[in-house]
Structure formats: structure tokens, C-alpha cells
Structure 1
Amino acid sequence: MKSLINVLLLLAVLPLFSQNFLQGEIKNKETNQPIFGAHVYFPELELGGATDELGTFNFSGLPEGNYKMIVSVLGFETKSLSFQIPYSDAISIELSPSAIEIEGVIISTPFHKLQSENVMKVEQESIANLNSQGAINLADGITNFAGVESVTTGLGIGKPVIRGLSSNRVLVYTQGVRLENQQYGDEHGLGLSSNGLESVEVIKGPASLLYGSDALGGVLYLNPEKFANKNTATADASFNYFTNTKGYNSNIGVQKSTENFKFLFRGSTSEHSDYNTDSYRVTNTRFREQDIKVGLGYQITNFKTELRYNLNLSKLGIPEELGEQSTNKAPLLPYQDITNHILSSKSTVFFKDSKLDINIGLIYNDRKEFEDHHHHDEEDHDDDDDDDMHDEDEEHDEEHDDDEVLEAALHMKLKTLNYDVKYHLPELGKFETILGVQGMTQSNTNYGEEQLIPDAVTNDIGILATSHIHFENADIQLGARFDNRSIDIASGLNRSFNSFNGALGVKTNLGNNIIARVNLASGFRGPNLAELASDGSHEGTNRYEIGNADLKSEQNFQTDVALEYKNEHIEIFANGFYNIINNYIYLSPNGEFIDEDPVFLYLQDDAKLYGGEFGFHLHPHPLDWLHLESSFETVTGKQDNHDYLPLIPANSLTNTLRAEFNTNWFKKGYAFVRLRSTFNQDNVSAFETPTDSFNLLSIGFGGSISLFKNELNMYVSATNLTNETYINHLSRLKPDGIFNMGRNISIGITYNL
């Protein structure tokens, strides 16, 4: 490892500049006119730029090798081309007008292809689009993906559910590294801000081949904002207001890049009071969040590297029952106080026809949970009882802002080092091949007076090989992987888990307009520390959890079939899956109580999940500015004994009517109306309650104008416009009959300098 670091340092200082360049022009295929502002991007090099008024572009200092170039601009098809560098001739690229949205490069899969080229179906959406649809935070925004939901505890706490699987079965990646933040708990959220993120990608189904244990159910991959293009500087500021919570989200960012160095900074803050329903505010769903993201990059011809740091500070109220009705924003007791540090390093060394990727992450999660009976400010209560009663509500809001008067009941520090090294072999005929090693070492330490999970050290390591094979009429991706997980627990319990997994996928064109994908993949998940060794009351879940030291690894096999039909005016898709999980781990009550909390045990049984997403997108000629989109999603989960699995989302149907327009002064204009119909969920586990159907109506519009010669983006959106009272099946407040959020109007502006 030391030798490898020395090599990287040497490469970073050597003057490896080259005269390799690529230049050309981009034109409208129908009119032969140059296209101004077309974005030209090399995903492997993370190098991009835009065409000038003549439609031309020019890149210099490119390393030798075969590289993909993506050309995209609003209103035209997205084009993917490959060039062998050095390439001496000027190129001319023609783009056909298209009403289909710009197609993005998929980053979460290792070959960096457009979605239309990818063997594995991956959903992608920009953060800007999610926010414009009224998302209050990241956990809320991801529910706009078909097949993705969120287990919520109010608004501030949410965690992703992909096709019925959640918690440690869904892996989250940010800044190119695996996020670890005690995600085993139902009421443990993402701990991430959407500010400073560019887009979200969702892999539905087992991704253990690419990411190892805990990717059994899928991956939520968060792409950070890009650095500015070479020799440019940008800045922006935004503000969002939410009427329901009287809350706001504001952030400011700056970026600057020279020929070789890059820098970015983004700081944000948000505060929300208790959310409102048609009848009441839900006490202690308030939360506060501060977030800082910093990035440094360096790039020369044969080497690029970037260092990113994210600090996230969150105070999240844990709702228990309806009480005080106020719009205060300081969380009441009980609440979580979480500090999350993410330091990541991402480097690539380019050889003549191959490259080496090295990603390293350091994650430090400091989690504190405070409870009512840990108040240290009660000793003078009897001295002035009248004054205390008069100011009681204000004290609940303000006392805990000073951590000196509170002692955390539960206090855990989780420290994780993870690494991901991949070598992209030289292309051999039709084969693109990657060899890799991934792993992490992790320690959990307790500092609070209460203990839910013990001190422990976890080590993961996996080796993988995967290939993408190009044929004339089909693309095939296949691979294999071996993993080992060991857990050493302070109590003396030591467990080790091994697994061998593989994947095979085929993408082919059935005629000119139909794409078919078939993916077969196995996955696994080693039991986590909580499942093996928890023994204590879990604040926020109101239950006493007892681990099971004899648990086995979960192992699954999923079949995924996807069909897409696309022509100039209509797109139709059908995605179906069948997922068999052996040794599925779940919590079940045993009928006993400890400290007035019901006792839940970790048990295992084989299970299966099946369902899919189906829909269409119509943009009829000549009304290409008008879009009608409809999607239906369904999932069913059962144990082998025919009992239903818990936390399975209800079936839903979403219909959207959207218009896009441009005027001389209002650019990138849009307006939409959306109706999401969620059906009854009667297929519930033994200790769940069913939920009724509901309909949520949303509307919105937005666009950009020129203000002082700079772009000002704005949007207004309204969710649950009819103020319907409803309970989502994945709300953890459901057992108490507490409604989800009522009508909310979001207003947002972003000013770009």
C-alpha cells in the first residue's frame, strides 16, 4: 500500500502534459445550424465543456486511450460516442431534435454508460427536479422514483425502501464511498443533505456484485455536484420556503477551476417546525440541519484526484404523542443529535489503454439520543413551582439547546474506513473488464449510560471481476465476487460470514424501438451488529430488542425483466422482478415486556418478494411541449409460512400532466399537475395495522429569467393540494393514528453568478 501511495504522489508532480486534443462542431441535423451551449462531457475523465456560438468545442491535454464522449442539450437527443486518443481529425456531430428529456450518464455502475446503453436498469433524477416537485428533504425526494419509498418518523427522519426492502438491505453511496451511520434502526435517517448533490441514482435489486454485503436490496447512489469547467468560476445562492412547517432551506456555493486545480464550497442550513395536518400539528416532528461540503481537485494528463469533505449536523425531534401545538423549531425531548463527518478521496491513474481507480472513505458518525428523564435541570423545581409551570413549554424548547444541561442516554460513535480499488483492463476485442477489491473496517463504541448494541469491530473484504461484452445485436454483462465479513464483539462473540455471488445480464434490441433487459443476480447480507447482539430499549421505536447470535447470512436470487418501447412520441416500460431471500431476518414480538417496553426478537425465515413498475410517457406530435406520464408500482412480500413481511409499500398509481415552454424572457418554463393514488394495504404482518387508500394532488410551475445578466431560477409547487388526511403505510406514527403532512406550498429561488 505504501508503494502504491508513493507511485500516486510521483504521478501527481510529474509534468505529464500532452499535446493530445479533440476538437469539432455540433450541428442541428434538420437545419444544419450550429448548436450553442451543447454540453460535451467525458465521464471517465470527469472533463466537460460547452460549445460556443459557432457550435465548436476543443479539449486539450487528453490522456491516451479509448474514451466515451457524451453530447447533450435540451431539446435534442443525447449522443454517446467513443474516440481513440490521440485523434487527429476534427469531428462533426449532428443531433436530432427530440422531446425526450436529456439522458444522463450512469455513474453507479462501473462502465459509465447512458441508461439506454446500460445492461442493468438504473433510474436517475436530478436533485433540482426533485426539489421543484416539492420535496422537503432528500428522504422525501427519493419517493418520486417508481418503486422507491421511505420509512418515515415525521419529516426529519426517513430511510429508503427499494421494492419492499430497507434498512441494511439498501446501501447508500455518497461522494463515491459507502455511507455508514448506524442505519440499522427504523428511526435512523440518511444523515445527508440534498444541498451540494447533483443527482440521485437507484439500482433496484441485488447489487452485491458491485458493492458487497448490504446491497442485497439495491443501492441509492448520490452524485455530488461537479467542479466548474476548466478556467471558469461560478457561484450561486438559493432559498426555499415551506408553508406547512414554516420552514426554510438556504444554501450558498462557490466553484473555481484553473487548468489543473479545482475547488468548491457549499454551506446550507434548514429549520422546520412541527408539520401540520388538517386538524393538528404533530408534536416534535421539528428538526434542524446544518451542512458544509468542500471539494479540492487536481488533474493533469495521466492523473486526476479529488478530496471531498462533508460535515452534517442534525437535531431531530422524535415524535411520541400529540401534545404542544406550536411553530417552535427547537426539538423537544426526546430527540437525536447527530454529527456526521465524511472524508473521501477519489483518484484515477490513466495508463495507455487502461486505468486504475482508487476510492477511500473515512466516515465518523457521532450519534446522541436524549430522553425526558435525563434532564439535569429539575433540582429547583419545588422552589418556584408556579414559575416552572408557567414557562414549561418554553423550557422544553430551549433548555436542551445547551448540551451541558443534558446527558445523552444513548451515545455511540461509529468510525469506518472503506476502500474501493478497481483496475480497468485494456479492452480486448468486444470485452471491457474490471477487476476490483473492496472492503471496510469499522468500530462501534458506546459512551452513554444506556446501551443498545455493544462495542464491536467489523471487517469486510471482497474481490470481484466483471465484464461488459459488446455484440452487434446485444450487450452482455457478467461477473463474480467473493466476500468475507467478520464481527468481533466486546462480549466475546465472534462471527464470520462468507459468500460467493454472481450476476448475468443481457440487453438487446427487439426491433428498432424495443429494448429488452434480463438480469439474474444473487446477493447476500451478513447479519449486522444490532441483529446479532442488541440487548436494550430502543428509544424512538418503543421496544426492547434482543439480538440472536445464531443468525445466518441472508442470501437471495433475483430475476429482473425490463421491456421498453420508445419512438418519437411515446415511451412504454414494464419492469418485473421476483426476489427469493433465504434466511430473511426480521423482528417479532414474543409477548413479554421489559421496562414497560414490548420485547422483540430477531428471527429468520425464507421469504420472497415480487412485483414491478409499469407505465408510459406520451408527448404527441405536434404538441411536443405537452407530456402525459403514468406509472404503476406494486410489490408483495411474504415469508415461507405465508405471513406477509412488514413495511411493504402499498400499490400506487401516479399520473402527471406536464407542459414545457420558452418565451423571450422566461426560459426553461414548465408547469405540471400530478395525482398520486395509493391503494389500501391489507397485506400486513402480524403486528402491523392496515392502511386505507388516499389520493394526493400536486401542482407546480417554474423556469428561469435573466436578472442583472445572470440566471435566476424559480419554482412554486403545492403538494397535497386538497389537504387530505391520510396515513402512509410506511409511517412509523401509524400505530398511534397520526396523520401524514397536510397541504404544503413550496417556493424556491436560485441565483447563479
Structure 2
Amino acid sequence: MRITLLFILLLAVNPIVSGQNQLTGTVKDQETGEPVFSANILFPALEKGTVTDAQGNYTVNNLPNGKYKIVVSSIGYATYNTEINLPLDNFDITLNPSAIEMEEVIISTPFHQLQSENVMKVERESLSELNRKGAINLSDGIAQIAGVESLTTGVGIGKPVIRGLSSNRVLVYTQGIRLENQQYGDEHGLGINSKGISSVEVIKGPASLLYGSDAIGGVLYLNPESFAQSGHTNAGVDADYFSNTRGYQLSGMAKTSGEKLKFLARGSYAAHSDYESGDGIRVTNTRFNEKDLKAGFGFQDSKYKADLRYNYNQSNIGIPEEIGAQSTEKDPMIPYQQIDNHIVSLDNKFFFNNSSLDMKIGYQFNDRKEFEEHEEHEEEEETEEEHEEHEDGEAALEMHLETLNYNLKYNLPKIGNFETITGIQGMFQTNENFGEEILIPDSETIDFGIFVTTHYHLENWDFQGGLRFDNRNLESEAFISEDGDVINALDRKFNSFNGAFGAKYQIDQKFIARLNLASGFRAPNLSELTSNGAHHGTNRYEIGNPLLENEQNFQVDLSLEYRNQHFEAYVNGFHNSVGNYIFLNPTGEIIENDPVFEYRQQDATLYGGELGVHIHPHPLDWLHLESSFETVTGQLSNNDYLPLIPANSITNTFRVEFEEGYTFSKKYAFIRLQNVFDQNNPGNFESATPGYGLLGAGLGTTLKLDSFNLGLSLSGTNLLDKEYISHLSRLKTDGIFNIGRNIMFSATLSL
């Protein structure tokens, strides 16, 4: 009912929105006066833009009255941005040639600014850049971002780890809404295919002010691919081959846009066999396959913008238990997961004079099934007949998670140098069990949050701060655990006030210093509150604690950056204090051959950071030398080390890039060496992990043909076929090595 009333309110105010305008202009090279072809013109607040033609001309239609920021970017030029008052008939722009990589607008923070203008440091990478480095899937790709790792079970299951925090402590956003897919479990993947994702943004640190509970460790924000430019139709086909898993991925896309209406669709399929480790052994049942469908419908005029998106993803993922039959089959054996995930989102924007109203609504349906061997089966190698027999039977575990999200934000008119946003966010969620096994009970969760944030801009200084209040109601039904114990029903309420304050100081576009102070919270999840039984995916018996309280943290984050045309350097440091940190603690007992762990709380501290340099010397602007180092340490108040903390690492990359070329353009080649140090500070149920070095390399180009472009790339990871075990591999306890040498070949045909 509340959502219906909001829709009525939005429709009621729509007629008072201002009229439409057209803006034209030319973009030229500041030094030569030549037109700049294919420069991006963007109004971030309106999420509307275009590109220049061969003569450098551009036209943007259906613009509202008001004062708006315009951002112009092109490869080989410094990004240009300023504010203009509409209506305005003509606006010509000159771009300054620069070897500095062009900046992009950051979407995950509230004011949609360039990174150099942002008070909060945000890492942003395009998926095309991550994929051409040899990433097998999305989780593998994001692990290449400084300060981000992946908690893995083979290559098919991966979860983001941001500065030592993961699972429910890292919030994932896709299509502008929070992703809900039973993410509390170590053996649950993202359930998002990388095809159809344009870029990823990472907020490293508490972001509860903007996103509420579960953003205590940071946010992984996935931006969907954009619609075609107005008046254009595009199509493309991607194909990838992976030598190690004998895997392949195919994807096809088509999109078209008129002046107001836009449409896109993409279908993808991927299949992988068991991966082969550096010792030449295939890790049984790490195989997986995935179907993915994405579609979008857009509408925009000067008064209103709508973006309707749908994503269906079905994943069949093997759950490895031990090394067994050596096979290159791609259908998972028992035990395996079948996960169907539906995501529907609608983003509405209403534009007024110098202000706007943004309302996002999302619905998700997550159907998670796990198939296991029947108890009467003896321990023997699986046969095809046994596999088929179980597929026809019922799942041992089946959970349906339904989630309705809403997010309403009002961008107030700018007052002097102040920009302010206020809003409400909420979630209604139900979990229902249908299988014979129950991991978490049938439950209902209701979230509500209200916040305000403001940004104050001066010539060299920027300040940003805000406050937020959240309330979460969690109710669950009683159920009988595996050992026959009755787990009582829950009725818990969790509340939290949080705030954030940040300052940025900038001198001459070269030196930037950022200081951010922020608090965050996380309400305990159902697994932590109600577990009582064997957790087969982790080979342990878990006992929950229904009296757990909120985790509450406070982080100090300092970032220093220096950049000129030929040199860049950065240092990021953080200190994160977490009150009532929830963790698993071994009791020393054994139940049904599984060690017993119980959930406890204790204050914890994490600290560390990242530093790096990027050199592209003049006049060899095509040459790039990059080096980055990352470190994190996590301890409980009793000085025990936290589990699943990534080891320190240093990555050195040498790459060359040549953008221009008549037939072959966007030519590049790189070689990378990642050195991971010993992890000698394991948690109390972990063991130390020795370090290792991984060598990677790649090259690629784009072939320009009559009416289409053909992109070709070849990359390799772990080229020396190193035998190694990552500290964040859940197969480490079984002594199973990570993936060995993998060569990836990719071809992209775009029209």
C-alpha cells in the first residue's frame, strides 16, 4: 500500500516539471583545433548523454530547465566537466590532450561525481578490462582490484572479500538494488554473470549511511551495460575459450534506441569442466554451467526517465568433496547446487527545476536447491545411472527467498555550495523451505531506513556528511534440527544510528588528500542466530546463538594521491574497529564425525591499506609500468587472529597500449607478476599458508572492418603452472591446489 501511494504521489507531481530543451555544440582538440570524434557527452544527474560525430558535433535533446553538470571524456584527453544553466542553445568544448587515463562518473556514491571530485575513494574498473586479463567469471575478475579478494570453492563459487570482510559484511548491488541470494553462506556464489555488466565500483569501508545493514565492510556495485545511443542500433557476439577447464562462454546482444524509447537484450551460456591444478590433477566436481538472460527497456524525456531491467540466471554448480574420477564432463555430479535467480528492477526519475526525485523498486526470487546422494548409497564412485536417478528425485535442500526492495531519494535544489539528498530505503523479505533439510527456518524480514547526506564544495576543499537511522524486524518459525532439537521461533528487532563525515583537499588537479570517518552496522543473519546441525558444505557442525547483537563498526580511512601527465601514486590506509564481531569458535566437541563450532561475539580490529604507482613516461605515453601492494591484518580483542584474512601481496604489471590504427586499433600487450606472501597469522581453526608467485600475460587488438569491429584477445594466468593454495580457498583444508595454467582466447564481433 505504501508503494502504491508513492506512485500516486509521483504521478501527481509530474505535470509541474519544466519544459524540454536542446543543446548542441562542438568538441575540439585544444592544441590542434581538430574535431574530437566519439567523445562522450554526459549529464550525470540526468543520466543522459550522447557521443560526437566525425566532425566533433553533438546534440542532446529533451533536457529540463536548471543548472546541471556536464562531463566530456575521450581516450587520450583529460576529462572536462563544468556546470551550465539550461536552456542554452550552444556549448562548444575544447579537450586538453593527456596521457592520464580518462575519468568516469562514479554511480555508487550519491552525487554522481568524477573520482577526482569524490570525497570518498571508490575503485572503478570496466568489466572488459578485467575480462581481458583472463578472468573466468565475475568473482575471479573483481579479485584483480586492489583491496579486493575472492573467497572461493574451486572456480565456480566465489564471494567478494573487501579488506578482510566478506559474506554478509559486504553488500552487492546490481541493477541499482541490493542483491539478496542467501549470501551468508561460504559456498554460495554471486549468481551474476559478467556478460551484460559494464563496470564494477568498490567502496572499501562502511557504507551504511547510503545502504543500511550489511555494508559494514564495503559495497560491490555492478553497473549494467548501457543502452545504445539515441538513433543507433547495435549488436554483438562474444565467445571465450578457457584451456584449463575446457570451458567456453557464448553471449549475444542486441540493442536499439530512439529519441525516447530504448531496448536491449542479452543471452549468455557458459560451461566448464573440473579445473586442473598445477600438479596436473583435475579437482573432481568443480565443474559448472550457467545460463543468463538480461533485458532492459528505457524511456526518457525532459520530465521523466524510466529504466526497467530483468535478469534471469540459472547456475548448476558442483560441490567438490575429494579428488576422484578424472573427467572433462561439464554436467555436475552429486552433490551439486541448482540456483535460479530472477531480478526485476524499475528505476524512476522525475526532473524538476534544479532538483529531482529518484525511486527504485526491485523484486528478486531466489530458488536454491541442493541435490545429495541418498543415504543408502555406499561410498563408491558416482555412475551416470546414480546421477540421473537423483536428478529425477526431490532436492534434499530447497529454499525460496523472495525480496522486495524500495529506495526513494529526493535531490534537493542546490543552495549556494550545498548539495543535499534525503531519502528512505526498505526491504520486505521472506524465506520458505521445501526440502527435507533445513539450514535456516522459514522467516520474514522487514527493513526500514531514513537518511540525509549533504556535500559542500569550495575551490580546493570538499566536505560531505550525513546521518541515518535503520530498523530491522526479524521473525522466524520454530523448527526441528537434524539432531531432533526444537529451535524456538525468533522475534528480534535491531536498530542502529550511523553517521559519516569526509573531507577532500585538492591542489592544482595533481594532489588529492581524503579523510573519511564512518560508522556502520550489521544485524546478525538467520544462520548465526538459529543454526543447529551439520553444515555439509563446510564439514562442520554449527550451533547458532539467538542472543547475538548488532555488529557496530567505526572506520578511519586516509587516502593520498598524486598524478601528473606521466606519473601517478597513491597511498590508502584504514583502521576499522568492529564491536560485537560475530565469529565461529571451535568447542572441541565432535558430533557425527564433524567438529562442533558455535557462534560468539567479541570486539575486533582490522587495519591495513593499499599503495601503488603508475608510470607512463613522456614521450613514451604508450608505455605503462604499474605496481601495487595491499595488506590487511585482523584480530579479536583477545589478540587471536581473524579467519579468512587475505595474505599480503604485491603486483607488478608492464603493459603497452596503442589506441590509433587504420585497420588494427586498441592494440595492447601486458605481462604481470603477482607475489603473494606467507600468511603466518591464521585464525584459530586455520593453518598458515605459504606464499607463491603467479605469472600472467596477454595481448589483443580490434580489427576494423567495413561495418563492424572484431576484437581479439589472448591471455594467460599462472603461466608457469604453479602448485599453490590460496589462504582464501575453502579447499585448502583438503590440501587441494588452486587452478593451474589457463589460457583464455576471446573474440568479440560488434556491429
The equivalences for 1:183-582 within 5 A come to 183-279=183-279, 280-373=281-374, 393-395=383-385, 399-400=389-390, 403-404=391-392, 406-491=393-478, 492-510=489-507, 513-582=510-579
CA distances 1:86-127 after superposition (whole Å, capped 9, x unpaired): 124x22211111112221110000100010110000000011
Cα displacement (A) at 1:9: 4.9
Give the Cα separation in 1 of the matches to 2:200 and 2:17.
34
Residue 143 of structure 2 aligns to a residue whose secondary structure is helix
The residue that corresponds to 1:164 in the other structure is 164
Change (3 A) 1:660 1:399: farther
The answer to whether structure 1 residue 37 and structure 2 residue 34 are counterparts is no
Match of 1:384 in 2: none
Counterpart of 2:694 in structure 1 is: 696
- What's the offset of the Cα at 1:537? 1.9
Distance in 1 (CA, whole Å) between partners of 2:511 and 2:557 is 17
**Cross-structure match for 1:74:** 75
Letter in 2 for 1:715: S
Relative distance call for 1:350 and 1:179 in structure 2 (3 A) is same
Once the two structures are overlaid, the 10-residue window that deviates more, 68-77 or 219-228, is 68-77
Instruction: Please give the alpha-carbon distance, in whole angstroms, between the structure 2 residues aligned to 1:19 and 1:737.
Output: 65
1:653 matched residue in structure 2:
650
2 CA distance for matches of 1:663 and 1:25? 24
The answer as to 2:624 corresponding to 1:627 is yes
Distance across 2 between alignment mates of 1:410 and 1:40 = 50
User: Which ranges of structure 1 fall in alignment gaps of 5 or more residues?
Assistant: 382-387
Superposition pairs of residues 39-118 of structure 1, within 5 angstroms: 39-88=40-89, 90-118=90-118
Deviations 1:426-475 (A, max 9, x none): 00001000001001011111111011111111111110000010012200
1:511 Cα deviation from its structure 2 partner: 5.8
From 703, 706, 726, give the equivalent of 2:704. Answer: 706
* CA displacement, residues 180-222 of structure 1 (integer Å, 9 cap, x when unaligned): 0001111111011011110000000000000000000000000
| Structure 1 partner of 2:481 | none
Aligned partner of residue 155 in structure 1, secondary structure = coil
Separation in 2 of the partners of 1:539 and 1:249?
A: 30
* TM-aligned CA deviation for residue 664 of structure 1: 2.4
Aligned counterpart, 1:6: 8
Residue 611 of structure 2 corresponds to residue 614 of structure 1: yes
Distance 1:439 1:6 in 2: 19
Is contact 2:708–2:749 with CA below 8 Å preserved after alignment? yes
Q: Cα gap change, 1:450/1:355 in structure 2, threshold over 3 Å: closer, same or farther?
A: same
Note closer, same or farther for the CA distance 1:412–1:111 as it changes in structure 2 (3 Å cut): same
Structure 1 partner of 2:23: 22
Q: CA deviation at 1:399?
A: 4.9
The worse-fitting range, judged by mean Cα deviation, of 593-602 and 437-446 is 593-602
Deviation at 1:412, TM superposition (A): 0.8
Q: Mean Cα displacement is larger for which, 28-37 or 17-26?
A: 17-26
- Does 543-552 or 418-427 show the bigger shift? 543-552
CA pair 80-289 structure 1, distance change in 2 beyond 3 A? same
Q: Does structure 2 retain, via aligned residues, the 8 Å contact 1:476–1:504?
A: yes
Unaligned runs of 5+ in 2: 479-488
For 1:161, give the aligned amino acid.
V
Residues in 2 aligned to 1:249 and 1:451: alpha-carbon distance in whole angstroms: 34
Rounded Cα–Cα distance in structure 2 between residues aligned with 1:134 and 1:746: 6
Instruction: Kindly provide the CA deviation profile for residues 670-706 of structure 1, in whole angstroms up to 9, marking residues without a partner as x.
Output: 0000000000001011110111110000000112012
Instruction: Give the Cα separation in 1 of the matches to 2:495 and 2:508.
Output: 43
Q: List aligned pairs for 1:717-736, cutoff 5 A.
A: 717-736=715-734
When normalised by structure 2's length, the TM-score is 0.96
Q: Distance in 2 between matches of 1:345 and 1:566?
A: 39
Contact preservation (8 Å) 1:293, 1:311: yes
- Contact 1:332–1:396 (CA<8 Å) still a contact in 2? no
User: 2:150 corresponds to which residue?
Assistant: 150
Quote the offset at 1:743 in angstroms.
0.3
Q: Could you tell me how far 1:6 is from its partner in structure 2?
A: 2.9
Please name the residue that 1:676 is paired with.
674
> 1:84 offset after TM fit, Å?
1.7
| Cα distance in 1 for residues equivalent to 2:196 and 2:53 | 27
1:534/1:547 contact within 8 Å kept: yes
Alpha-carbon distance, 1:3 to partner: 3.8
d(CA) in 2 for partners of 1:393 and 1:718?
34
* Structure 1 length-normalised TM: 0.96
Deviation at 1:594, TM superposition (A): 2.5
Q: Kindly state the Cα deviation for residue 598 of structure 1 after the two structures are TM-superposed.
A: 1.7
Q: Distance in 1 between matches of 2:239 and 2:246?
A: 13
Equivalent-residue separation in structure 2 for 1:192 and 1:594 (angstroms): 36
Is the CA contact (8 Å cut-off) linking 1:296 and 1:306 kept in structure 2? Answer: yes
- Write the deviation string for residues 686-733 of structure 1: whole angstroms up to 9, x where unpaired: 110111110000000112012343111111000000000000000000
CA distance in 1, matches of 2:436, 2:594: 18
1:542 Cα deviation after fit? 1.2
Q: Distance in 2 between matches of 1:713 and 1:493?
A: 55
Equivalent residue, structure 1, for 2:750:
752
Letter in 1 for 2:719: L
Q: CA deviation at 1:395?
A: 3.4
Q: Is the 8 A contact 2:426 2:447 kept in 1?
A: yes
**Letter in structure 2 aligned against 1:649:** P
8 A contact 2:276–2:282 mirrored in 1: yes
The Cα of 1:663 is off from its aligned counterpart by 3.0
Asked whether the equivalents of residues 17 and 351 of structure 2 are also in contact (C-alpha less than 8 Å), the reply is no
Q: Match for 2:315: what amino acid?
A: S
C-alpha distance in 2 between matches for 1:712 and 1:15? 48
Q: Tell me if structure 2 keeps the 8 A contact 1:47–1:229.
A: no
Check conservation: 1:666, 1:704, Cα contact below 8 A.
Answer: yes
- Does 320-329 or 100-109 show the bigger shift? 100-109
Secondary structure of 1:328's counterpart equals coil
- The SS at the match of 2:130 is helix
The match for 2:592 is 595
Letter in 2 for 1:336: Q
Structure 1 residues 292 and 164: alpha-carbon distance in aligned structure 2, compared to 1, 3 A threshold: same
TM-superposed deviation, 1:8 = 4.1
Partner Cα separation in structure 2 for residue 689 and residue 37 of structure 1: 53
The CA deviation at 1:10 is: 6.5
Contact 1:483–1:498 (Cα < 8 Å) also in 2: yes
Matched, 1:686 2:684: yes
Q: Is the 8 A contact 2:469 2:496 kept in 1?
A: yes
Residues in 2 aligned to 1:321 and 1:24: alpha-carbon distance in whole angstroms:
64
SS in 2 for 1:5: helix
Pick closer, same or farther for the CA change 1:124–1:374 going to 2, 3 Å: farther
What percent of counterpart residues are identical? Answer: 58
1:583–1:392: structure 2 CA closer, same or farther, 3 Å change rule? closer
Q: Structure 1 174/436 Cα, relative in aligned 2: closer, same or farther at 3 Å?
A: same
Pairing 1:738–2:736 present = yes
Shift of 1:393: 3.6
Amino acid in the other structure paired with 1:262: K
Secondary structure of the 1:48 match is strand
Equivalent in the alignment of 1:385: none
> How far apart are 1:30 and its partner, in Å?
1.1
Amino acid at match of 2:437: E
**More divergent stretch after superposition (669-678 vs 492-501):** 492-501
Report deviation, 1:373.
Answer: 2.0
Once residues 708 and 20 of structure 1 are traced to their aligned partners in structure 2, the CA distance between those partners, rounded to angstroms, is: 36
SS, match of residue 384 in structure 2 = helix
Kept after mapping to 2: 8 A contact 1:422/1:434: yes
